[in-house]
Structure 1
Amino acid sequence: MPLYTFILEFEGGTYLSQVVAQSFVQAPVAWADELVPGEIKGMRETSLNELRIATQGSAPVPLNGLQRAWCFSTLVRGRLALVHFVETSEPGASKPAPSAPQLDHQPLR
């Protein structure tokens, strides 16, 4: 399943997180379900529930000129929550973690 990276703008803060989901339509719901009260300034359980409900009822909007990038927005207790997200890796894509550069150590003479 693809990995999605989410960028949330809320109450002057920027919050990033990642989630694995079956599709870009299901990704916002999976993302909102993983949010924890207190991680986002000004969002307690009631606010998170509003956000979760909003993700279930709206379709992400593709960003013009970009591939695999979407956005959606909603009001949470009367405050704007702007969310952008990007499919960070394709299904089945697996890249090894970058390794540290190998240095050739030669004794000083």
Structure 2
Amino acid sequence: MELYTFLMEFRGGTYISQFNAGKLQEAVLLWTEHLEIKEIKYLSEKGKAEIKEKIKSKEPIKIRDRKNIWFFCMSIKMGFVAVNVVKTSLD
């Protein structure tokens, strides 16, 4: 298992979460399942559902010349979502 750190930018706020997963795609799915709308300003259940649907057709892009860092983004009705993912070493 690896630890993945998600840094999400949404409507002026930065939201950070972490998940253990065997691979990146599993971590992304965990992230979508555990988006806490109470903690993310302006995000509703509909917005969360839209993210979960759109992520199915997204493949995180590996950041060139960097190890273990990816990026993905999407536009939802409530705004623009930009996410950096970092595979973080466990201590």
Q: TM-score, normalised by structure 2?
A: 0.91
In structure 2, what is the equivalent of residue 79 of structure 1? 79
Post-superposition Cα deviations, 1:2-50, rounded to whole Å, max 9, x if no partner, equal: 1100000000111111011221122211111011222111101110111
Residue in 2 aligned with 1:14? 14
Question: Equivalent residue for 1:44?
Answer: 44
What RMSD over aligned residues (CA atoms) do the two structures have, in Å? 1.3
Aligned mates of 2:47, 2:15 — CA distance in 1: 15
Distance, in Å, in 2 between the alignment partners of 1:58 and 1:17 is: 19
The aligned counterpart of 2:29 is 29
Q: How big is the shift at 1:78?
A: 5.2
Identity %: 32
The size of the alignment, in residue pairs, is 91
Structure 2 residue runs of 5 or longer lacking an equivalent are none
The verdict on how the C-alpha distance between 1:34 and 1:27 changes in structure 2, with shifts beyond 3 A counting, is same
Structure 1 distance, partners of 2:56, 2:30, is 10
Unaligned runs of 5+ in 1: 96-109
User: Which portions of structure 1, spanning 4 or more consecutive aligned residues, are displaced by more than 6 angstroms?
Assistant: none
